A and B are shown apart, each in its own frame.
Chain A
Amino acid sequence: MTSTTNTGPVSDPRHVQLTEDGKLRHFLTIGGLTKEVLEEILDTADSFVNMGEQSVKKVPLLRGKTVVNLFFENSTRTRSTFELAAQRLSADVLNLDISKSATAKGETLMDTLQNLEAMGSDMFVIRHADSGAQHFIASQVAPNVAIINAGDGRHAHPTQAMLDMYTIRKHKGDFSKLKVAIVGDILHSRVARSQVQALNILGAEEVRLIGPKTLLPETLKGLGAKLYTRMEDGLKDVDVVIMLRLQKERMDGALLPSEGEFYRLYGLTTEKLNYARPDAIVMHPGPINRGVEIESAVADGPQSLILNQVSYGIAIRMAVMSMAVSGQTQQKAQLNQEQAQEPQDNQNAQTNEETSR
């Protein structure tokens, strides 16, 4: 039937972010990626974490590349980690705070992109309030520009999810034996969506979502998670507790009666943490609302890995950025080769171990 075929500005997200041979060229969402790709991200990040221990903290992988941080939504924290990651890879970094400048003047997203492309950027790191904005942009930019999603609407925040996976793997090891609970405002959380997808792909034993029904859409079951409305049930025997940030605005939309009641029911206190396994770890993407979603004693306690998460964030972003640039270049090389129809004389460039000693 001719009528159900897709033709539009955006093609399938599951394919947009990979090269023909399955390498990352954009990083838009966890959905549709294989366990191998996620593990490659984690392993690569491992190398960069180790690198953080040596006196030279900079490597020339992205030397000569221009990375543009395009934040349509303000986030100094996330932007800083991307900036640092790009700098440690020796890229030139341009920070654009679009939320203040361009859109206020009525410039459309397309105008902004065309201007930036004209500057010869190699990578856009984008945060945008609209779900799917990065997919749209990836479908529009020149083929040699890599797009890294730094958060889109309620849809995805894949680098945050991967640094959480890194934290879990580092401290808990094998995913297949882990029960993970994500607590709080699931409805509005792009982080939670990406985490659930990543945990499932990496083979976690069980993923649970906990919250009041106003913040816990039934429809998320489809991503592969069990839904719980009571902390005592949801936290029982879990190995990992991930708390989400509660935005103050949620009180206005009739989603919650008060911060106090939310804290009483869903705030992570020492007492509630006792439902989880005694060696459970506690995570939070930050910034923390102490006394709203988490008790200070827990946030600063021995089970908390909240500060570790921040330091792993840079390594994860370095991993994703270097992989995407490499994927883009390979894709481009492939295209060039196909166009030129030249015989492949480059057989010695097969594995890292063997190349160019």
Chain B
Amino acid sequence: MTQITTLPEVEQLIAQLADQLKQYISDKQLDHIAMVGIHSGGVWIAERLHQLLQHDEALGALDISFYRDDYTRVGLNPNVKPSNLPFATEDRHIVLVDDVVMSGRTIRAAMNELFDYGRPASITLVTLLDLPGRELPIQPDLCAQTLNLAPGERIKLTGPENMALELQSSE
């Protein structure tokens, strides 16, 4: 089993991601982007990116609990936060932010929810980490780092103050 001894520094990854995103926006000539974070880690990161990019429009937040495909198996989390998109998504270039992408199911749910609000012009997926275990054909457009995990291991972002990555093992 490959042990990950040190996890990357979150602030450093965010700074890196912010640079990538700036470059990406200018390359693609995306004007007037709308940034949306996925509860809860994705929102924290989106907030930091938002600051670093000095983006002036309010940030959106999605709680995808109602859109999960596994709710009938694991039940509903009784404390779902309301999704909040303080802008019209119709014809907008959406930057969708999450802390990690693993199976891809959360992103699937988030995109479904986004489409319930309107038809965006595009969606760009930005994640801090890309982890193994993909179950759907979803890949991040931008990602600060790709990590390999042993089976049963997962990474959790703690925050929102002093964000840090934590390695968890179900073994």
Does residue B102 face the partner (Cβ distance < 8 Å to A)?
A: yes
Interface segment among A128-136, A204-212, A280-288, A347-355: the answer is A347-355
Most buried by B among A50, A326, A333, A352: A352
Docked complex Cα distance between A40 and B78 (Å): 6
Residues on the A chain within 8 Å of B71, using CB: 61, 322, 326
Considering residues A43, A61, A351, A357, which has the most beta carbons from chain B within 10 angstroms of its beta carbon? A357
Is A44 an interface residue when CB atoms closer than 8 A count as contact? yes
Known contacts A50-B80, A56-B117; is A356 also within 8 Å of B103 by CB?
A: yes
- Contact check: which of A51, A330, A333, A353 meets B66 at CB < 8 Å? A51
| CB-CB nearest in chain B for A50 | B82
| B-contacting residues, A308-357, CB 8 Å | 322-323, 325-330, 333, 347-357
Task: State A329–B65 Cα separation when bound (angstroms).
Answer: 17
Instruction: For B135, list chain A residues within 8 Å (CB).
Output: 356
B170 touches A347 (CB 8 A): yes
Instruction: Please name the residue on chain A nearest to B117 by beta carbon.
Output: A56
**In the complex, which of the residues A54, A323, A348, A357 contacts B75, with contact meaning CB atoms closer than 8 Å?**
A323
With an 8 A cutoff between CB atoms, is A8 at the interface? Answer: no
Q: Please name all residues of chain B whose beta carbon is closer than 8 Å to the beta carbon of A328 when the two chains form the complex.
A: 72
Q: Within the assembled complex, what's the spacing in Å between the Cα atoms of A348 and B74? A: 10
CB-CB under 8 A from A47, the residues of chain B are 65-66, 76, 78-82
- Number of chain B interface residues as a range: 35 or more
Pairwise interchain contact B79-A43, C-beta atoms closer than 8 A: yes
Select from chain B the residue with minimum beta-carbon distance to A88.
B66
A329 is contacted by which of B72, B79, B83, B84 (Cβ under 8 Å)?
B72
Docked CA distance A151–B90 (Å): 43
Judge whether A55 is part of the interface by a CB distance below 8 angstroms.
Answer: yes
Contacting B103 at CB < 8 Å: which of A40, A326, A357?
A: A357
* Complex-state Cα separation, A14 to B100, whole angstroms: 43
User: Which of B79, B101, B105, B116 is close to A56, meaning CB atoms less than 8 Å apart?
Assistant: B116
Q: A46-B79, A54-B82 are in contact. Are A352 and B100 (CB under 8 A)?
A: no
Known: A59-B66, A60-B66. 10 other contacts (CB 8 A): A23-B75, A44-B76, A47-B80, A51-B83, A61-B76, A349-B70, A352-B68, A355-B70, A356-B105, A357-B103
